[in-house]
């Protein structure tokens, strides 16, 4: 604005009013001085008021026309009043601009506000309207390994009409799939690697990344819930806990995620219950190594190695130096072979116990 422009003061005389009117008309005629020009430079601010960038030029032009039609000399004085115009006047104008847009383009602003809400990364629970339409109960089965947490959750799953199990491993999904089908509860299996459909099934056992959030379940089981804190895969547990449309969600794991799940339940307006478990048998770390080498391996032992070559080598050693037979499972093993190996190991009548 020109330095010669008057400061915003009260009007005292009609001569002054006409001077301001003249200046208003002159300044408004040059677009940059109408202050709508300043608003133009504030597109981002307008976005914050849900005025989209593509609506902005049209809205700003309409607002400018509107201003020129209705502005009183007072307004002209305030808006064009010398250096003091800058921020304070723009703030005033901006509020009027927003009010004008709300009045003139209600549908556009509402649509953009709705779209912005769905993209609000701070409220992930709102991304799952189906789950939010259900008042869910989250039951946290917490305790150390082998304390029977998953067993209890699976009991609830098996007795439900429609259920879903989500686990971190294909093998766990497969174990549940086989167990439920063996117990007469028809169950599909869905993993990234394979999909097995059982006609008429009401249940599905899947890896957690594969769980469908579009199918209602009476009971859902989310296993190894502490993995929600995993930097690479934790998102899949978060998605399952927030998004599963199930009446009851049984989450199983150690107690490290209790606080977080309790908070998520509160945010989702779900019920929360904590059930804690103790180990049924003690777990102790052996003081020494196997004195007789692989000949000391006992039925039920599990040996972990870090390469395929090592695994085959150890299997050979165990079978040659003891009367045990060993099964093998590793990541690259085809799913069908892995299942056959797991079946061999789990068969109570079989002789593959390592």
Binding positions for ligand ATP, rule: CB under 6 A: 143, 145-151, 252
Contact of 193 with 334, CB cutoff 8 Å: no
Interhelix angle 86-104/56-70, rounded to 10 degrees, is: 110
Pick 34 or 147: Cβ nearer ligand ATP: 147
| CB 146, min distance to ligand ATP, A | 5
| CB 151, min distance to ligand ATP, A | 3
Pick 289 or 304: Cβ nearer ligand ATP: 304
| CB 105, min distance to ligand ATP, A | 56
Q: Which two tokens stand for residue 322?
A: 């003891």
Greatest Cα-to-Cα distance within the chain, rounded to the nearest angstrom: 114
Residues in contact with 134: Cβ distance below 8 Å, sequence separation at least 6, in sequence order: 216, 245, 246, 247
Pick 23 or 170: Cβ nearer ligand ATP: 170
Phi-psi region of 145 (alpha: psi -120 to 50; beta: other; left: phi over 0): beta
| CB 277, min distance to ligand ATP, A | 6
Contact of 164 with 215, CB cutoff 8 Å: yes
Pick 115 or 302: Cβ nearer ligand ATP: 302
Other beta carbons within 10 Å of 222: 29
| CB 349, min distance to ligand ATP, A | 17
Q: Which two tokens stand for residue 354?
A: 């390592």
Pick 147 or 324: Cβ nearer ligand ATP: 147
| CB 308, min distance to ligand ATP, A | 25
Instruction: Output the CA torsion sign for 108, 114, 117, 118.
Output: negative
Contact of 219 with 246, CB cutoff 8 Å: yes
| CB 141, min distance to ligand ATP, A | 7
CA 104, CA 223: separation in Å to the nearest integer?
Answer: 52
Contact of 103 with 62, CB cutoff 8 Å: no
Pick 17 or 169: Cβ nearer ligand ATP: 169
Pick 81 or 167: Cβ nearer ligand ATP: 167
């Amino acid at each position: 604005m020109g330095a010669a422009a008057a400061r915003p003061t009260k009007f005292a005389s009609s001569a002054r009013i006409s001077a301001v009117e003249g200046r208003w008309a002159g300044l408004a005629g040059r677009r940059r001085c109408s202050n709508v020009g300043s608003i133009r430079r504030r597109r981002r601010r307008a976005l914050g008021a849900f005025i989209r960038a593509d609506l902005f030029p049209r809205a700003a032009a309409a607002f400018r026309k509107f201003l020129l039609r209705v502005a009183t000399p007072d307004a002209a004085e305030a808006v064009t009043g010398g250096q003091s115009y800058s921020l304070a006047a723009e703030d005033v104008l901006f509020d009027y601009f927003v009010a004008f847009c709300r009045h003139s383009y209600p549908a556009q602003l509402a649509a953009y506000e709705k779209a912005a809400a769905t993209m609000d990364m701070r409220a992930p629970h709102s991304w799952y309207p189906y789950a939010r339409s259900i008042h869910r109960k989250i039951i946290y089965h917490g305790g150390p390994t082998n304390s029977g947490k998953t067993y209890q959750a699976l009991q609830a799953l098996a007795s439900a009409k429609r259920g879903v199990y989500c686990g971190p491993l294909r093998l766990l999904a497969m174990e549940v799939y086989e167990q439920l089908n063996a117990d007469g509860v028809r169950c599909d299996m869905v993993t990234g690697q394979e999909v097995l459909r059982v006609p008429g099934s009401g249940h599905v056992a899947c890896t957690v990344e594969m769980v469908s959030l579009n199918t209602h379940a009476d009971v859902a089981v989310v296993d190894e819930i502490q993995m929600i804190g995993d930097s690479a895969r934790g998102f899949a547990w978060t998605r399952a806990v927030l998004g599963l449309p199930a009446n009851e969600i049984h989450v199983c794991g150690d107690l490290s995620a209790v606080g977080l799940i309790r908070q998520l339940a509160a945010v989702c307006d779900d019920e929360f219950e904590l059930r804690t478990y103790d180990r049924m048998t003690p777990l102790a770390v052996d003081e020494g190594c196997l004195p007789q080498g692989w000949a000391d391996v006992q039925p039920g032992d599990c040996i972990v190695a870090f390469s395929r070559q090592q695994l085959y080598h150890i299997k050979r050693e165990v079978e040659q130096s003891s009367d045990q037979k060993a099964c093998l499972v590793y990541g690259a093993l085809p799913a069908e072979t892995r299942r056959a190996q797991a079946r061999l190991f789990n068969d109570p009548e079989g002789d593959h116990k390592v």
